[in-house]
């Protein structure tokens, strides 16, 4: 009787705990709905008071065109902000694909202050969307986790402060996957975000809400973050341009923030913030605006290196290393074709193309990346779920992370890409040393070939729902450059063809293992969806990376 009553009590307590969690989730959804309703009313009010506003024209302009018209006064910041806030785009997009989780209501007050400023910043009047975990005063940074729902931030993050100082107007926050350690975009609080180009597909992640909103036309510029490809993968899946800068070039994000743990993260894998937009010029303008005196004043850890316009606008022929596959995950047919076509375009334009192969890629993914990002065996990540419910899209990963250490040690021998074991302090030092040695080896190979930049694949096309959590190791094409801490950007160059889909039927992968089979299933049914390439430069050479991206964009289109 005592055992039965104890068991019943445990079941009851668990049920009450889950009920409380679900109540918090429902409250968060109600808060979001009220915020979006407030945004809709504000946009409707402006439309009624200004019936002549050319909303369709405003939404059709590139960011560079928009900046010019705002500065010359032919468009007002109000008309631009309310056009993007309006039902035509932002609201329709979020109801269709579920990408916006909050309205930054202070944007209307900021708009009034902006009108009184004498100097117009580089992003004067540009509405900007912000990824969930980037702090905005008066708003929650949930990380898709219930435990953080009540924590309203008291001040803007540095990057938001700098954007505002340059005249930009952050107006919405966007959805992310739970904990942001998945490149899908789903959490149990706000639900699954869909790809606006094909609702059966994922928008990518973890900056998936940004990707979906910008691709759907509801934002012209967004700020994401990237620790394994979280800017570049949504850009690839949604047909956008995205840049992962060198760590600390803008503002470094330790992965402890991504995992919501107060301890300082070991810097074996570097995460950082970066811009996402519809074209490369928008990324360059955003970087130019961010690399300013205000950034260097607010965050003295950011090197005071202004944007080098001369490098970005140079037309000097480039010496470009390239590879069609990394030797770890066989590229999908469209990924491979994108590199082949872009290589030919670049050669025809007078650039020199040199074959390149990343050294020891298995070692990078299995040891340097996986063990670097989960140096504690994912213990802190697992701790985050106490008092929370695991999203179904994350369960495959989570179940692996919470295995006992002994079981992990055994499985790590067989399943290196999937299982990481806890490292001692000495192992941690060795890990840092190994990353430094590998970076030196990679740069030496780069220098020997006298390369300026590298052209390589980025994972794509967009995955079917539910596969990202089962294919974490497929981020090898992007996470390599987090380990190296090189700037890397993504540019769409083509779309999936019928021939690509036919060739995919014969895809076997390098090993013919379950992960190769899953990759084939993940990218099936992508006819007409974007295909991108990745452009890479050496550390601190964001301007050269962007210049290369611009060249690829121009030739491809």
Residues annotated within the binding site for substrate are 180, 206, 227-230
Q: 221-226 and 127-131 as β-strands: parallel, antiparallel, unpaired? A: parallel
**Which residues define the annotated binding site?**
180, 206, 227-230
Alpha carbon separation from 86 to 28, 91, 424 (Å, rounded)? 22, 6, 53
Active-site hit among 230, 235, 282, 334 = 230
CB 93 within 8 A of CB 213: yes
CA angle 242, 557, 356 (to 5 degrees): 65
> 178: which residues sit within 8 A by CB, 6+ positions away?
143, 144, 145, 186, 187, 188, 390, 391, 393, 394
Active-site hit among 165, 206, 332, 375 = 206
Give me the sheet containing 100-103, strands edge to edge. 100-103, 169-174, 127-131, 221-226, 272-277, 241-244, 488-495, 530-536, 453-457, 319-322, 352-355
Q: Is 230 a catalytic residue?
A: yes
Identify the three-state secondary structure at position 284. Answer: helix
- Cβ neighbourhood burial of 336 (10 Å; 0-12, 13-18, 19+): middle
Three-state secondary structure readout of 538-554: CCCCHHHHHHHHHHHHH
Q: Is 131 a catalytic residue?
A: yes
CB 533 within 8 A of CB 552: yes
Side-chain half-sphere exposure of 113, counting CA atoms within 13 A: 11
Locate the DSSP E strands across 357-479: 453-457
C-alpha 475: how far from chain center: 12
Rounded CA-CA distance 133/245 in Å is: 18
466: left (phi over 0), alpha (psi -120 to 50) or beta: left
Rounded CA-CA distance 403/525 in Å is: 34
Specify the long-range contacts of residues 425-428, CB closer than 8 Å, at least 24 apart. Answer: 428/266, 428/268, 428/375
Rounded CA-CA distance 355/338 in Å is: 16
Rounded CA-CA distance 389/407 in Å is: 24
Rounded CA-CA distance 237/245 in Å is: 19
Q: Which of 220, 212, 209 is nearest to 169 (CA)?
A: 220
Active-site hit among 89, 131, 244, 288 = 131
User: Which of the residues are catalytic?
Assistant: 131, 206, 230
């Amino acid at each position: 009787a005592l055992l039965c009553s104890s068991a019943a009590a445990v079941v009851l307590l668990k049920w009450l705990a889950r009920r409380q969690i679900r109540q918090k989730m429902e409250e968060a959804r109600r808060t979001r709905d009220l915020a979006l309703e407030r945004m809709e009313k504000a946009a409707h009010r402006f439309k009624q008071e200004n019936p002549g506003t050319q909303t369709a024209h405003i939404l059709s302009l590139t960011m560079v065109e928009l900046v010019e018209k705002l500065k010359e006064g032919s468009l007002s910041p109000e008309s631009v902000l309310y056009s993007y806030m309006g039902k035509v785009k932002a609201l329709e997009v979020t109801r269709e694909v579920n990408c916006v989780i909050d309205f930054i209501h202070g944007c209307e007050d900021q708009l009034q202050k902006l009108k009184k400023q004498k100097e117009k910043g580089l992003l004067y009047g540009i509405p900007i969307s912000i990824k969930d975990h980037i702090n905005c005063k008066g708003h929650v940074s949930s990380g898709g986790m219930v435990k953080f729902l009540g924590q309203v931030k008291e001040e803007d993050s540095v990057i938001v402060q700098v954007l505002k100082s340059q005249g930009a107007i952050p107006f919405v926050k966007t959805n992310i996957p739970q904990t942001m350690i998945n490149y899908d975009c789903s959490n149990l609080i706000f639900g699954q975000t869909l790809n606006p180009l094909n609702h059966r597909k994922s928008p990518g992640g973890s900056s998936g809400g940004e990707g979906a909103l910008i691709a759907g036309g509801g934002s012209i510029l967004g700020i994401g973050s990237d620790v394994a490809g979280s800017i570049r993968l949504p850009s690839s899946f949604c047909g956008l341009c995205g840049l992962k800068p060198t760590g600390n070039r803008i503002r470094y994000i330790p992965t402890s923030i991504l995992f919501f743990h107060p301890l300082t993260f070991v810097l074996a894998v570097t995460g950082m913030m970066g811009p996402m937009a519809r074209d490369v010029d928008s990324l360059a303008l955003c970087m130019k605006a961010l690399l300013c005196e205000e950034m260097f004043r607010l965050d003295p850890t950011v090197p005071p290196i202004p944007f080098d316009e001369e490098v970005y606008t140079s037309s000097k022929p480039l010496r470009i290393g390239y590879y069609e596959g990394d030797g770890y995950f066989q590229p999908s047919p469209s990924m491979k074709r994108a590199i082949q076509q872009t290589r030919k375009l670049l050669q025809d334009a007078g650039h020199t193309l040199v074959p390149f192969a990343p050294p020891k890629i298995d070692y990078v993914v299995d040891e340097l990346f996986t063990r670097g990002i989960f140096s504690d065996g994912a213990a802190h990540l697992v701790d985050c779920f106490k008092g929370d419910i695991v999203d179904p899209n994350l369960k495959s990963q989570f179940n692996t992370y919470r295995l006992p250490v002994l079981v992990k040690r055994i499985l790590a021998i067989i399943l290196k890409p999937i299982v990481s074991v806890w490292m001692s302090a000495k192992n941690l030092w060795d890990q840092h040393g190994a990353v430094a040695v590998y970076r030196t080896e990679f740069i030496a190979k780069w220098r020997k070939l006298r390369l300026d930049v590298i052209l390589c694949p980025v994972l794509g096309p967009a995955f079917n729902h539910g596969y990202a959590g089962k294919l974490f190791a497929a981020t090898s094409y992007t996470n390599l450059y987090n380990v190296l801490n090189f700037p890397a950007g993504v540019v769409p160059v083509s779309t999936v063809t019928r021939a690509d889909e036919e060739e995919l039927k014969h895809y076997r992968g390098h090993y013919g293992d379950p992960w190769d089979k899953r990759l084939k299933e993940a990218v099936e049914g992508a006819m007409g969806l974007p295909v991108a390439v990745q452009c890479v430069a050496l550390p601190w050479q964001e301007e050269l990376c962007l210049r290369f991206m611009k060249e690829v964009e121009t030739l491809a289109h």
